[in-house]
Structure 1
């Protein structure tokens, strides 16, 4: 998991159960996430409770970006490098991939996770915090996540 300190500096936590990761996230006054509907439930399962979190994917959508994945926004809005995590599996055996038997190069993975975290921070800093996001989208995302949790 990548954690950004600023637009160019971050840290990679190899083990999602690392107590230091939990401490960093839980002590942060705000946690920035790109695609909270995916990441917040994972953090909940890990027992990590955030004081406050914001979703740059929703913020981008509220700003009129219909293509809101991190790669598109990194390339076209931030003009910052972005490498998909799946790049390490390119050229690997399809059979191994399907079985989940592909070794992870954590040096590369760490760099990419930090890159993603830094880009998420940059989006938060660069995109306007429009009323649609702050007054409508953001207040309801907790409710939507709770509904998804219960299968509604």
Structure 2
């Protein structure tokens, strides 16, 4: 569930599995305001998904993840809202992109029979309060800190941000 800041209305969304060549078509690059080099996710064999507003071809955010059978969870490598949706942006278009992408990872974890478990290392802003407010638990210290989302937190995320299920586009 994402909300358009200008109107306050909830927007219908869909997810799409992306290929490396899609990044160029969608103008996903540091020179266009993206923080991460998303090409690396493909090199490291992560699956990259984009979140889109129905009827709008512009990607609103990305997540790179991979199932981790050994640890029975979905590993999140990268997660990023599009430049126009970052909370620090002076005229943020859509709110809730990051939370909805984490809910999407939880959805995929349930689908993989990993009971909703997600793991991620915080790479940039070390905003621990953000992740703990969503139900994440710090698993280990160090830099970068590593968090995981247990079943109960993941269930809540899916119910809150993807209550109608996942729509593919």
What TM-score do you get using the length of structure 2 for normalisation? 0.25
Higher strand share: 2
Higher helix share: 1
Asked which structure has the greater RCO (Cα within 8 Å, sep 6+), the reply is: 1
